[in-house]
C-alpha cells in the first residue's frame, strides 16, 4: 500500500472525519478483523493563516503555504496527498504545480460521482470563497453539469455559520434547519437536482445521502473513496 498524506486543519473537525472514514473503508474491505490499515501522515496547517491569505487575495502566498506543507508530507514519506477541504481547491492547479507528489482533487472526484448519478443541475454550498469562485463550475460544466449557488444574502449567512459554528465543532439543530430552508429555496427557484456539500464540515451535520428529495453529495466520503483507491492501487 502507498503512504497517504493529508493536509488537515481546514478545519480540525473535517480532518478527524477523514481519518475515521479512511479507517472505516479499510474495515469494510477487510475480513476477519484484519488490522491491515494504511500508513497515514497528517499535516495540520494553520487555518487562520491560510484564510487570511485568501481574504486578502494573496493567492501566491496561499499557494506557497499549502504546497510547502504538502512537500513536508512528501519529505516525511507520503506517496501522494489530499487536501481535506474544498476551499483550497480554488488554487488546486497552482498547488499541484509546486508539489513534489501527486494530489487527489476533491472537485474532480465529486464531478465523477455526479456523472455516475446522471445529475445535471447541482446546488453548491460551502465557504463564500468556494461559492463565489468558479473552480467547481470549471470542472463540472465541460461534463454538462451546471453549478448553482445560493443568493448573495444566503451565501453570507452560510459562511457566517461555517466560521462561527461548524469550523469550531458546533453543530446546532436550528442551523441545520436554516441550511435546509436555503436548499429548499434553491430547489424551488433554481430547480436543482442535487446538492454538493462543498465544505468538509457539512457531512458531519448532514449524514444521510438524501434530504428534501434530492441527493446530497458528501464530498468527504467521495474524496476518501479516491484516496483509498490510490492507496491500494499499485499503478
Residues 34-54 pLDDT 10s: 788 999 999 999 999 999 999
In this structure, are 112 and 207 located in the same domain?
yes
Give the pLDDT of residue 235: 54
**Is the distance from CB of 120 to CB of 145 less than 8 angstroms?**
yes
User: Confidence class of residue 32 from pLDDT cuts 50, 70 and 90?
Assistant: low
Beta strand pairing call for 214-218 and 146-148: unpaired
What span, in angstroms and rounded, lies between the C-alpha atoms of 178 and 166?
13
User: Confidence class of residue 215 from pLDDT cuts 50, 70 and 90?
Assistant: very high
Stretch 226-233: mean pLDDT: 96
In this structure, are 55 and 82 located in the same domain?
yes
Residue where the block lists cell 478545519? 11
Domain hosting 133: range is 107-218
Domain total in the chain: 2
Alpha helices in the chain (DSSP H): 12-29, 47-55, 59-76, 92-97, 106-116, 128-132, 135-140, 152-164, 173-190, 202-205, 219-232
In this structure, are 204 and 134 located in the same domain?
yes
Residues 151-187 pLDDT 10s: 999 999 999 999 999 999 999 999 999 999 999 999 9
In this structure, are 202 and 141 located in the same domain?
yes
Residues 58-96 pLDDT 10s: 999 999 999 999 999 999 999 999 999 999 999 999 999
In this structure, are 65 and 125 located in the same domain?
no
Closest CA to 107 of 83, 127, 80, 78: 83
In this structure, are 11 and 27 located in the same domain?
yes
In this structure, are 112 and 95 located in the same domain?
no
In this structure, are 63 and 75 located in the same domain?
yes
Give the pLDDT of residue 233: 87
Q: Residue 49: which CATH number?
A: 3.40.50.1860
pLDDT at 207 over 80: yes
Total count of residues recorded for the chain: 235
**Is the distance from CB of 120 to CB of 193 less than 8 angstroms?**
yes
> What are the backbone angles phi and psi of residue 146, rounded to the nearest 5°?
-80, 145
Closest CA to 7 of 160, 223, 235, 230: 223
In this structure, are 94 and 141 located in the same domain?
no
Residues 129-158 pLDDT 10s: 999 999 999 999 999 999 999 999 999 999
In this structure, are 113 and 168 located in the same domain?
yes
In this structure, are 21 and 92 located in the same domain?
yes
Give the pLDDT of residue 234: 61
In this structure, are 136 and 49 located in the same domain?
no
**Is the distance from CB of 195 to CB of 114 less than 8 angstroms?**
no
Give the pLDDT of residue 30: 77
**Is the distance from CB of 158 to CB of 125 less than 8 angstroms?**
yes
- C-alpha cell, 80: 501522494
Amino acid at each position: 500500500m502507498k503512504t497517504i498524506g493529508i493536509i488537515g486543519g481546514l478545519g480540525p473537525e473535517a480532518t478527524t472525519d477523514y481519518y475515521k472514514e479512511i479507517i472505516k473503508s479499510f474495515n469494510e474491505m477487510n475480513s476477519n478483523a484484519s488490522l491491515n490499515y494504511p500508513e497515514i501522515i497528517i499535516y495540520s496547517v494553520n487555518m487562520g493563516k491560510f484564510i487570511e491569505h485568501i481574504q486578502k487575495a494573496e493567492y501566491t502566498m496561499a499557494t506557497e503555504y499549502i504546497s510547502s506543507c504538502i512537500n513536508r508530507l512528501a519529505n516525511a514519506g507520503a506517496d501522494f496527498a489530499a487536501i481535506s477541504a474544498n476551499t483550497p481547491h480554488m488554487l488546486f492547479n497552482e498547488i499541484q504545480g509546486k508539489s513534489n507528489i501527486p494530489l487527489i482533487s476533491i472537485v474532480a472526484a465529486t464531478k465523477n460521482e455526479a456523472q455516475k448519478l446522471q445529475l445535471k443541475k447541482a446546488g453548491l454550498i460551502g465557504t463564500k470563497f468556494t461559492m463565489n469562485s468558479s473552480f467547481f463550475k470549471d470542472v463540472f460544466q465541460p461534463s454538462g453539469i451546471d453549478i448553482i449557488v445560493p443568493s448573495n444574502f444566503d451565501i453570507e449567512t452560510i459562511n457566517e455559520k461555517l466560521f462561527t459554528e461548524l469550523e469550531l465543532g458546533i453543530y446546532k439543530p436550528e442551523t441545520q434547519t436554516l441550511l435546509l430552508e436555503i436548499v429548499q429555496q434553491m430547489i424551488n427557484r433554481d430547480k436543482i437536482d442535487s446538492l454538493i456539500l462543498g465544505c468538509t464540515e457539512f457531512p458531519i451535520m448532514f449524514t444521510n445521502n438524501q434530504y428534501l428529495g434530492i441527493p446530497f453529495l458528501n464530498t468527504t466520503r467521495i474524496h476518501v473513496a479516491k484516496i483509498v483507491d490510490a492507496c491500494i492501487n499499485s499503478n
